Structure 1
Amino acid sequence: MTARLGSRAAALALGVALSVGVSSANAQTVDGPSLFWKVSTWGNPRAFTAGLEHMAERVKEATGGKWQMRVFYGEQLSKAKENLDGLKANAFEIATFCNFYHPGKNPALMVTTMPFLPVSSYDDMARVRAGLYENDILKDEMAQWNALYYASTNLPQYNALGRGPAPKDPTDFKGMRVRAGGGIGDAMAKLGAVEQTMPATETYTALQRGTVDAVFLPYTYAHASYKLDEVADWFTANLSPGTSDCPIVINKNAYDALPQQYKDLLAEIQPELLEVYRKAYDEADAKFLPRFQERLEEITYTDEQLAAFREAAGEPVWHEWVEANKDQFDAQAVLDLTLELAGQKGS
């Protein structure tokens, strides 16, 4: 691909079939200066970080080792909630962040957390996120943090994993203390749950100690990544109220200083991440779902129950989000774009 990041800093080239894991025999060396880029994330290596590692490997390979990237795990460089601040301070060159960790820093991107958006497949969600990254409102929002969207980590739909009495009906969430951020948290609140927001790294202790009764995370890899099944009794298999977005973003100053051939290399690698994440999440589900089914009670809701949940906690949350943000930016336009992108089925 020859498309450049530039003003189109993060559009995934959906539909382009690229080979993931280019062999060294076929890799073309890109000549340029010696660089060392730091990548800030949290937790341990897992499906969520597969794209970061792939990017680092490909950059090193293509430049003959001249451009090195190192992924720093476990909040070594920054707390998960402060990665945008670190980019603004030029503390590192690449970072991940989750929008619902700090809604005030990225209010427009919070549209991806709206519950029961009409997206279901992996490709649907990837298309919506890529299109949103092209919107001027969202790009300007990131520019305030000296950041450019690069690619989404394409988180799957969320489901709940919890301890204590299992919610056999969505109404059973009433009174439960639930870790669920953004629009998903708002949806749970409409069911009478008590919404709590915390980084994923804190969920194990919270569930173990009873600070929360249930945790919503991407199904199933994230629950397993933080070993929540060790301290849980049940999980929901098909509630799937929505997801969030935890994009990979690049320090704008660092990107602008790159020679053009390095910018082109990043653009070439960018669409590969779509397939890297697809494979990583599929492999995680194949590995962890049987373990969940063996250890935990599996809760599957009927179509009627899910329809009632959508009616009570779907579109009403969308409209409240627009009303709450309309004075900051054109929230209705962002929601309309999201729904428009969700309705597109590829070209």
Structure 2
Amino acid sequence: MQRRSILAGAAATAVAAPAIAQSQPAIRWRMPSSFPKSLDTVFGGAVAISNIVKNLTDGRFTITPFAAGEIMPPLAVLDGVQSRSVECGHTAGFYYVGKEPALAFDTGVPFGMTPRQHAAWMNQGGGLALMREIYDRFDAVQIPCGNTGAQMGGWFRKEIKRPEDFQGLRMRVPGLLGRVYAKLGATPQQLPASDVYPALEKGILDAAEFVGPYDDEKLGLARVARYYYGPGVMELGASLCFIVNKKAWAELPEGYRAVLEAACAQASAEMLAKYDVGNVAALKRIVGGGAKLSYWPRPVMDALHKATREVFEEEAATNAVFRAVYTQWRSFLDDQLTWASVNDGAAEQYMLGTQRKR
């Protein structure tokens, strides 16, 4: 009897869903992305959000995704959402550190959090509230919608053996990473994905940090820079965000808001899984094609870590918003690192050690 009741309830829900959707208004939004279609996993997150929203609302709420540059420049998505030229956008917070440096924490910062730690900070550790306070200044509401996982250290046209080797390098790096590399003598530049390959090919750039093997292979970076560095201490994860104009969000029916948040959560899980699978095969092809995979020497990582702390402390000293976010974020990360050292992080280190002995 109980089983029959459960099945009957499920059937009633399935029948009622379209009727509920039909009772809601028809809404059409446009969503520019900061990423090109060629990066099918990261831009695919925008497509996934659109498809899930459409399916869950029986087509009453549709969001049309546009690749970078189709209706607005890739690094102007927040501007478009703020002015309500578009209702929503698919981007990354660290592209807008020129507006507010604390937005770097929305995406990820050097020597920061893994995707799992970042999700915990956002969803349970107060991070989302902090980020939404900042986005509110730009008339936007933020929803996390994906993560690339740990990103590689980047592609270089010459070997990096010591910290001094960064001197004079022209590097494509986003967010606060540029300020870190600048402390070691590099000249940072922020370029959209479509401009990275030609800049390296023409010698306008000496190095470029983008994502990881799956996306880097699609951009062809191994053809214009030989040396590929890891581990990804500069970006242990990069979280993307779906941003909505504040007035458009307020006008949206409550049910549609719930649908949007569910769609972003599902897109997040799918994106990270796709990168974890795709990066392995891509890395094998890249190395098999002749790229030289190298690890940052310890003195280089130490210098990068020292420069990172200096950038954080300098910004915190003059920027009250950054200081508030950084202080809370740092405390949360310290606790997470303690837990990782006790349990899963320690277990992973053991498993890596046993793998090397095979």
For the aligned pair, the TM-score class normalised by the smaller chain equals 0.7 to 0.9
Match of 2:221 in 1: 228
Match of 1:263 in 2: 257
Gaps of 5+ in 1: 1-24
Q: Does 1:290 align with 2:281?
A: no
Question: Please, which of 333, 343, 346 is the counterpart of residue 324 of structure 2?
Answer: 333
Match of 2:233 in 1: 240
CA distance in 1, matches of 2:327, 2:96: 23
Question: Which is bigger in relative contact order (C-alpha 8 A, separation at least 6)?
Answer: 1
Match of 2:294 in 1: 299
Structure-2 change in CA distance of 1:294 and 1:164 (3 Å): same
- Contact 2:146 / 2:272 at 8 angstroms: preserved in 1? no
C-alpha distance after superposition, 1:267-296 (max 9, x if no partner): 333322331121121132023211221231
C-alpha distance after superposition, 1:48-100 (max 9, x if no partner): 12322222111111222222221111321211121111112222222123334
C-alpha distance after superposition, 1:140-188 (max 9, x if no partner): 3212322101114323333343353221334422221111133211221
Quote how far apart the aligned CAs of 1:43 are.
0.9
Paired-residue identity, %:
23
Match of 2:343 in 1: none
Match of 2:89 in 1: 95
Give the aligned residue type for 1:190. K
Q: Secondary structure at the match of 1:157?
A: coil
Structure-2 change in CA distance of 1:82 and 1:311 (3 Å): closer
CA distance in 1, matches of 2:247, 2:259: 17
Quote how far apart the aligned CAs of 1:233 are.
1.2
C-alpha distance after superposition, 1:204-253 (max 9, x if no partner): 11111111111112223332343322322121021532365542211222
CA distance in 2, matches of 1:215, 1:324: 29
Q: Secondary structure at the match of 2:152?
A: strand
CA distance in 2, matches of 1:132, 1:222: 31
Match of 2:111 in 1: 116
Q: Does 1:35 align with 2:27?
A: yes
- Contact 2:26 / 2:61 at 8 angstroms: preserved in 1? yes
Q: Secondary structure at the match of 1:153?
A: strand
CA distance in 1, matches of 2:47, 2:272: 15
Structure-2 change in CA distance of 1:79 and 1:92 (3 Å): same
Quote how far apart the aligned CAs of 1:298 are.
0.8
Structure-2 change in CA distance of 1:92 and 1:46 (3 Å): same
Which structure shows the higher helix fraction?
A: 2
Structure-2 change in CA distance of 1:245 and 1:264 (3 Å): closer
CA distance in 1, matches of 2:176, 2:44: 26
- Contact 2:115 / 2:238 at 8 angstroms: preserved in 1? no
Q: Does 1:156 align with 2:152?
A: no
Give the aligned residue type for 1:147. A
CA distance in 1, matches of 2:184, 2:174: 14
Match of 1:195 in 2: 188
Q: Does 1:58 align with 2:52?
A: yes
- Contact 1:113 / 1:183 at 8 angstroms: preserved in 2? no
